[in-house]
Amino acid sequence: MKSILTAIEEGRLIELPEKEKEKALRYLCSILEAVPDLAHNGDLYETMLKREAQGITALGFTVACPHIRASGEGEMMCAIGWSAEGLDYGAADGQKIRLVIMYYIPDNQKNTYLKEISLLVQALRKMDGIPGLAACADINAVRNTLLDFLTGAADLSFSQSRVKMIKLGVKSAEEAQCPSIEPALAVAAVSVLLDSGGRLTVLSQDQKLVELLEGGKDLAEKIIKESPFEFAGYKLIFRSASIFKPDRVLREYLALKLP
């Protein structure tokens, strides 16, 4: 299950800010779309939805693996979302989904994907799910729990030293009293309320990000002209928009901190 380990290592394990299945899946698609040099020109979310319509991708044990098939060649990768409350996913066993592993699968990686998903299912059955996942209180606990699960799984093709290094990184941060590990890809949800006069209000749980965006120049012009766009050290990826009469638009973005 090398791609799961890589996703953890590269910061594509996140706590889902959405409680609805469709919004959570769109969010994970946005994470994948932000990966540099992704060899896919279509709409990942629409491609994923078409596959999901053919059958629910819940594996059981509160885990689901929606996936995106892509033409051409490239690397298989995944983004992993954790929901503390669980998502109503329509799983056959009736359980809410706590962990969503969304795969991106180019044509040349079909066999690799089939092998990995088979190993994942075998490991879930062998361990009766992911031990400790239901008790996780934060994303750091989820990270450690997943690393323990990977270590105990039958697939030993990945380097055990990589697991140890990631664990050491988590432990060092905890000992330094850091609230969380800074991922390779910092992600925040942002809403921008914009009127026809160019006046705007930025809404986000990240207050520092709000201050950066509202304090910058020409944000309204960027929003109107470009998507995605870079601003104040972030890349903003458009997700959806809602129109409010008489002249206001609420636009939803995924903000990715640039290196």
Mean pLDDT throughout 64-84?
A: 91
Name all contacts of 110-114 with Cβ < 8 Å and 24+ positions apart. Answer: 112/76, 113/67, 113/76
187 pLDDT above the threshold of 90 = no
Percentage of the chain lying above the pLDDT 70 cut? 84
The pair of three-digit structure tokens given for residue 139, joined into one six-digit string: 């994303």
DSSP 40: -
pLDDT value at position 165? 57
Pairing between β-strand 77-87 and β-strand 13-15 as defined by DSSP bridges: parallel
256 pLDDT above the threshold of 80 = yes
The pair of three-digit structure tokens given for residue 165, joined into one six-digit string: 């290094």
- Which band of pLDDT confidence, cut at 50, 70 and 90, is reported for residue 245? confident
Residue range 143-171, pLDDT digits in tens: 989 988 988 775 555 555 566 656 655 55
Mean pLDDT throughout 163-190?
A: 55
Residue range 118-140, pLDDT digits in tens: 999 999 999 999 999 999 999 88
pLDDT value at position 194? 83
C-alpha to C-alpha distance for 59 and 81, rounded to whole angstroms: 15
Mean pLDDT throughout 186-208?
A: 83
Mean pLDDT throughout 10-22?
A: 85
Cα 10-47-226 angle, rounded to 5 deg: 70
C-alpha to C-alpha distance for 65 and 172, rounded to whole angstroms: 31
Mean pLDDT throughout 18-31?
A: 87
pLDDT value at position 181? 39
37 pLDDT above the threshold of 70 = no
184 pLDDT above the threshold of 50 = no
C-alpha to C-alpha distance for 143 and 139, rounded to whole angstroms: 6
28 pLDDT above the threshold of 80 = yes
Q: List CB contacts of 236: < 8 A, sequence separation 6 or more.
A: 190, 228, 229, 230, 253, 254, 255, 256
pLDDT value at position 177? 45
